[in-house]
Structure 1
Amino acid sequence: MTQANHVFIITLSIIALGFLLKKYGFIKEEEGKTISKFLMHTTFPALMLVSMIRVELTPSLFLLPLFCIGFCGLMLTVAWFWFGTYSNELRGVLTMGAGTANVGLFGFPIIEGLFGKEALVYAVMYDIGNTIIAFGIVYPLGSYIASSGAKAVDWRMILKRVFSLPPFLAMFVGLTINLLNIPIPKLAMDGLDILATANKSLVLLLMGLYLSFALDKNKLKAISKVLAIRYGVGFVAVTALYFLLPADSQMRSVLIVCVLLPIGMTILPFSDEMNFDSRIAGTLLNISLLISFALMWGVVVLLGLR
């Protein structure tokens, strides 16, 4: 069994375990929100911090957030015009669904398993762009659609929300420590490593808790258009990355996986806040999770990414 197959089978097994724990009543889906908050304030920031502290920073790394912003911005632009004739409620959730990726909760454990911890720095830098898109473009865009363009976007509130996110703060602190070469006691690093290691299994169990096969069939046609945008543009990006970047580049492998990631989970709280249809958001998340998992597995094995 190849390393890629091993990683995806283990990943699928842990996700399935989380789903079965929910299905048979050992853990409720509502309790997933508590686990999610725990991850966002402990293991996830720890993973961000140790990844940024240990990476050897090069100018090319700072192009990754820009690549993510351009990639997601292209999908958002297509969605903005394609869904222009839809009702605001439907247009809002579909447009937001085209714009972000589930990098931290879904991408990190798979990338770590496939390429090692050292590869996480590329995913972290990509996620900086993803965070900027989510809170700097997708959130205000959804707010604009929800208010029919009548209400001004509160940029101060959005910036405050972005900069108060524990993973984002951890990225900033890690970058600062790295750039200034600030020494960290071994005891502190060992503690952070333990927390960071726990992130992978907890995240995959959480994905299983949120997994659902209850689909909103009446909206599948509209949902399929979002998926067509994401994976159509995604495959164009995969082709460009594969042929334009060096074959032995680990950054190329990580980016190829990143552009095939499922829709970001921020669409759920955003949809709730803006009174969009949360059932459509949930259906988008679940279908994209299954499609992305299959596509990533196939692409990694087919292209021999390592």
Structure 2
Amino acid sequence: MTTVQNAASEFTREVGSGGAFVRQTNRFVTPFGTADGELPPEPGRYRLLWAPICPWAHRAIIVRAVLGLEDAISVGTANPVRTEQGWEFSLDKDGVDPVLGIRFLPEIYKETDPDYQGRATVPTVVDLTTRKVVNNNYFRLTNDLETAWSAFHKEGAPDLYPAELREVIDALNDILFHEVNNGVYKAGFARSQEAYEQAYDTVFARLDDLEKRLEGRRYLFGSSITDSDVRLYVTLARFDIAYYPVFRTNRNRLIDFPNLWAYARDLYQTPGFGDTTDFEAIKKGYHLGDIASNPLRILPKGPDLSIWTSDHGRERLN
């Protein structure tokens, strides 16, 4: 069995009835906070492990940058092309993470819990004082950075999770997760025609709805960026370069949605978004890794990325 085939089998195990993709649940979900049993926010104590291909990890990196937490939380970056042994820190000197000394992400999961049987996922937060994985809850991690870590935000940092909007943000985030963020994976990893078409239809029905929503407002909740915008952006940034060709979500490209495309460019040109978006890594991860069926390992040459810096005209909606 080839490396790619063996690695891909990790995902094919996550299949429910009718061939539908059912993503594994997170194992390490202790939140950050000051209450008993929570993870105390302490600068320098934690290391955030990520891979630029991964949308779940990317949104934590965006929030870290937007809020100015770069000095408080260190980052380890894995190669975007997953191996048979999992995410690999082959981009670093000697092929190991310079802080943890691990070559493959599953190593730190096994150190933490020798009985752990799931995929070792990114983002992963490691407590450097104990060398243990303490959080891989991608669904709530950005909210923790936005609230529990507020004492360490840079001066003038935006409030991405304002208290008065949290209920509606959470409600929209739940929709975005099931129908867009994870929706493209449900289409791409479906193991039946019926499951694929159901996921496909759900994705584009929601994108049509979001296209209308963004016609009269700059961001999802008006004139200010929120946590929901971060979550939608990471999927939009990967849509034409990865999901359209690899996951067969090919009814429309992102650039065929006038409002969504302008909105995505607006965010891309916002500090913390575009400067953390590595299109080359995204392309390699989806086309050369364990996701695409690409035995000859031919990497697409395009697309032209200069279009992401073209004028978006969204300022008029403020």
Q: What is the TM-score when the length of structure 1 is the normalising length?
A: 0.26
The structure whose residues are more often strand, as a share, is: 2
Higher relative contact order (CA 8 A, sep 6+): 1
The structure whose residues are more often helix, as a share, is: 1
